[in-house]
Amino acid sequence: MKRLIAEREKARLGGGEKRIEAQHKKGKFTARERVDMLLDEGSFEEYDMFVTHRTTDFGLDKEQYLSDGVITGHGTIDGRSVYIFSQDFTVLGGSLSETNALKICKVMDQAMKVGAPLIGINDSGGARIQEGVRSLSGYASIFQRNIMASGVIPQISAIFGPCAGGAVYSPALTDFVVMAEKTSYMFVTGPKVVKTVTGETITDEDLGGATVHSTKSGVTHFVGANETEGILLIKKLLSYLPQNNLEEPPLAVCSDPADRMDEKLNTIIPDKPSIPYDVKDIIHSIADNGEFLEVQRQYARNIVVGFVTFNGISTGIVANQPNFLAGCLDINASRKAARFVRFCDAFNIPIVTLVDVPGFLPGSAQEFEGIISNGAKLIFAYGEATVPKITIILRKAYGGAYIVMSSKQLRGDVNYAWPTAEIAVMGPIGAIEVLYNRDLKAIKNPEERAKFVSDNATEYREKFSNPYEAAKYGYIDDIIEPRNTRFRIIRALQTLSTKKDVNPPKKHSTLPL
């Protein structure tokens, strides 16, 4: 018994007091502290505390540490079971060894068996060089399990330190990545290699910090000001997710009346179609208690995605953002939304789409970089999704972008429009310039030309670019008062709760990657 107690105490010290102190000086918690912060008190059951590496080369026989640089096991968050691994930077820089990888693979296998979310906390210098190919094979084994778990259990990666080289691909294969400002970074090749190969001088932060990955690359989905905030984000995210793909998301307790109206919604759309507004004001207005967990907040800001609840029902939101690029769909926005839609569909989370989109972003840069195939990803995601899909057209829904944003023809279940909706092949002014091209060429006076366009655009809007035309053909199920939007969504979700929609049998789809 005495030996057991002593060995446990030794394991809990990781790389020792000095290295723990060094970790704290960097503004970082230890692997065990992170586990304790994340899980319900007293719920953690640890696996493989007494595992050590098997390598004797390069002096490693003299550096043996219990747990071998990663803490693994299971516990609960808000009473719900989760599996977890947390890399320990105080032990050989958290480097991945053969035995370290085997520990991680064990909890991944267990998470799949019982159908529970997997959380990986990354803080590692990468592969343990002294172990060579055995370390690399460890990464490959982890990647394979990430792939098999995809769409079966939710996988969340927290980056709370370095994550470099091959290590970055496990988080990239998971559903959500959380980073902390200034203390975490991800890159395939570090600043030293970049300097050697390209001559570019760059810092860890500028190459792969939280800001870079949340604004430019889109690799990370959430950024916390520190690790504490990052952990709170993980807990909040899990509250919207089911345990696995065979279960429904948890039903939250809701005190917000389902029939609550917001009069401000009736006047939130500006009179002039060219004037922007913040679509997040609408989301906060219609969601339970105004709460909205936005995903990838700083990336592709012309589209907004995230989680809300409607009368306690966990729901994914996809919304065009008129405040940025007029809400146009571009490459990044299409990819961002497509990935989110596919996640929601995989885990039985209904999708509400708020539409105000003038079209796809024009220009050679977008065409050369593949707006066609990237836009097709979003079409594919919506068309393939079998979860309940509710669409509300707020204002503009033009051309191909109308089709893409969960139109009735892409199996939208309930499609509503506000009275301010404009549904057409293109905007009124553009349409007049095409339809009356010859007449416009004959008008030499600029003022007369502008008046001609304006007068005919008004007529075009009245005849074609209004929701009543779409409703006449059944492409819109109803035109609703904006203030009633919350109630109409909730009633639609309740009605669609027993929806059954099945795709044809196939090995897998050939998504336009």
Positions annotated as catalytic residues are: 165-166, 400-401
Q: Report how far residue 115's alpha carbon sits from residue 242's, in angstroms, rounded to the nearest whole number.
A: 10
Written as six digits, the tokens of 33 are: 């502290």
Name, in order, each residue with C-beta under 8 angstroms of 436's C-beta and a sequence gap of 6 or more.
452, 453, 456
Query: Do you know the residue count of the chain?
Result: 513
Residue 254: Cβ-neighbour burial (10 angstroms; 0-12, 13-18, 19+): middle
Q: Report how far residue 351's alpha carbon sits from residue 18's, in angstroms, rounded to the nearest whole number.
A: 50
What radius of gyration, in Å, describes the C-alpha atoms of the chain?
Answer: 26
CB atoms within 10 A of CB 477: 19
Strands (E), 340-441: 351-357, 389-398, 414-417, 422-424
DSSP-derived letter for residue 420 is T
Q: Apex CA 29: angle with CA 25 and CA 34, to 5°?
A: 180
Asked if residues 158 and 230 have their Cβ atoms less than 8 Å apart, the reply is yes
Q: Report how far residue 294's alpha carbon sits from residue 219's, in angstroms, rounded to the nearest whole number.
A: 15
DSSP-derived letter for residue 213 is I
Task: Report which of 163, 143, 154 is spatially closest to residue 210, judged by C-alpha positions.
Answer: 163
Q: What are 338's strand-pairing partners?
A: none
Q: What are 127's strand-pairing partners?
A: 96
